[in-house]
Structure 1
């Protein structure tokens, strides 16, 4: 296992604090036990992770989200988590003394890593319940925070409380990107997965005008190099975060060994009339048109091979169906192959435990 300077979990940065309490290893264990015994559910999750972090094992067990496959438990070395924390500190310029807000559950890697960054880098981190509107009860400003897109969507009016914000765990919609333009908070969309110890790349999604051209590219964090395979799927070499080269199923347009544009999942590629289509690209073109959650998929077709369909999370409404169908046909950026041949409605999508859409299972419910 390749590592940077070895970090012992028996050490805690001198500037580290939780909820304004400065902590060393002994007091950190005490507060962890307090969280487990007397805290709310989200605090109990934090306590359990802290005890896992402070035990003698050199790894922790983490659950994957299950958004692209069956959820599973994997081992992640603590040293890799430390290395990831240091890379985040360098990339986003958030080192000792940074004030941070944890509003994600500590059951998944994103929440765990906020705590590791705090302990390793010397952050002053506060905890709030991981709800959809996490800033509603916050009245002080923070240097750094991490959210999922739904939390960002519900926090627009209070983003002045955050200087830098990273958003992961799902794609940020075009509607949401429009809403955050001109906001002073520096907001970054991240790319990563549990196996890469959260994000390995990020891009500013509310850039200044002079930086807009470059903002479409994800840029890799330090000590990470990128390549593609014969499917144009991203290959990640991150020896300080994972002992193996990671071959993903994410189709990208690679600009350099450090920059790429994400196009979509190879698993989701649609071959319609011999033309390869990426549902995620079609979804971007439809996002400003549809006010509900939706996704693009396909069903078998005798003449086309795959037929593009649209699935909308809403009760069926004939007027909405007709209006939506006409509006889609008026979009000039859609090719004739990208236009959905049929629109389905479903009251509620099937989701993973942390709120990600399970496309395959939802599709099965709609078309059988």
Structure 2
């Protein structure tokens, strides 16, 4: 039975039950008595159990400035219910918290645990969340980079194989990562959602017989398209307002949908509208290092497509490959190398910073050639 009265909720933390009063007593003991990840959890719970019906959350800032939003705790609990029912999570199931509690994805792991009575296992937010996990997990939520890193270490990979349900959010799952997780015996899902929808409102199965290229929304969610083909979300259980997204989408006859990219990431180059994510998808099998498609201002084209790389590759070989994959109008006009691809605090590509970095690198290149 799920519990929606916050004062009657109990946190099952690594097998030990905590009441709201227990959390208050832990806070009195002070930060020096707990590991940092546990203390961050207690700070969140202090806010969760106070009298306010609202909670502050922060957007990631992947396409612009991060924002602080005030959201209703009741709607967070409804979001938790939807996920737990969809995935059939039951009281006592182990759930891993391994993400930054500043963001909604991590907060919702805790709220699901409170609502459904899950046994929460806590690890610091890191690139290797399974490095010292010893018990099998029923449920885990990670960002793509955490999953990728886990698959590179044999012991961690074996622990991931013992995880029954894995959801991946906070960024796109590329084709190579999707191929790598096919061997996992547990169910793996990509999530679709945002801070405003209090985590995800749709899931896409990535492996097994039920694998799909489409996202399937929860039954209480209604979707439509704007005149610009961006997704419009009506999710009254988790969001009071109709949400106009910047995600260009295609809705299929069965109610599922596909995301083609963000409206913000359309590059208008010489009158040709280029979706950055679609170009990235085509190039991922060719380019084995971190990269992003971005743009710089161009006097002739308006915007010029830029391939921004995190390492120095064999440029000539890469250009040959690009010519076989992309039509002329879609090929990068500039290939630039950076120390790293800018990211937000929760691991998403920071598109705004990528554009700024590309302009700066191109200017330095032009100045050095003068």
TM-score normalised to structure 1 length: 0.90
Q: CA deviation at 1:349?
A: 2.7
Contact 1:45 1:107 in 2 (8 A): no
1:98 is matched with 93
2:364 is matched with none
Q: Among residues 334, 341, 366, which one is paired with 1:349 in the alignment?
A: 341
Contact 2:277 2:293 in 1 (8 A): yes
Q: CA deviation at 1:256?
A: 4.5
Secondary structure of 1:356's partner?
coil
Compared CA separation, residues 233 and 35, structure 1 to 2 (3 A): farther
Q: Counterparts of 2:115 and 2:197 in 1: how far apart (Å)?
A: 18
1:309 is matched with 306
TM-score normalised to structure 2 length: 0.90
Aligned length: 353
**Structure 1 vs Structure 2 CA RMSD:** 2.0
Q: CA deviation at 1:105?
A: 2.0
Structure-to-structure mapping, 1:197-216, within 5 angstroms: 197-208=198-209, 211-212=210-211, 215-216=212-213
Compared CA separation, residues 21 and 344, structure 1 to 2 (3 A): same
1:360 and 2:357 matched: no
Contact 2:294 2:354 in 1 (8 A): no
1:138 is matched with 133
Contact 1:197 1:241 in 2 (8 A): yes
Q: Counterparts of 2:3 and 2:177 in 1: how far apart (Å)?
A: 41
1:127 is matched with 122
> Which consecutive unaligned segments of at least 5 residues does structure 1 have?
none
1:64 is matched with 59
> Which consecutive unaligned segments of at least 5 residues does structure 2 have?
152-156, 361-370
Decide which moves more: 174-183 or 348-357.
Answer: 348-357
Compared CA separation, residues 242 and 227, structure 1 to 2 (3 A): same
Q: Counterparts of 1:199 and 1:34 in 2: how far apart (Å)?
A: 35
Contact 2:166 2:186 in 1 (8 A): yes
Compared CA separation, residues 6 and 89, structure 1 to 2 (3 A): closer
Q: CA deviation at 1:242?
A: 1.2
Q: Counterparts of 1:309 and 1:105 in 2: how far apart (Å)?
A: 31
Structure-to-structure mapping, 1:232-311, within 5 angstroms: 232-256=229-253, 258-311=255-308
Q: Counterparts of 1:35 and 1:189 in 2: how far apart (Å)?
A: 38
Q: Counterparts of 1:258 and 1:41 in 2: how far apart (Å)?
A: 43
Q: Counterparts of 1:92 and 1:253 in 2: how far apart (Å)?
A: 25
Q: Deviations over 1:170-223 (max 9, x none)?
A: 111211111111220211111111111011111011232xx44xx111111231
Contact 1:33 1:47 in 2 (8 A): no
Contact 1:19 1:125 in 2 (8 A): yes
Decide which moves more: 292-301 or 65-74.
Answer: 292-301
Q: Counterparts of 2:117 and 2:192 in 1: how far apart (Å)?
A: 24
1:50 and 2:40 matched: no
Compared CA separation, residues 292 and 201, structure 1 to 2 (3 A): same
Q: CA deviation at 1:302?
A: 4.8
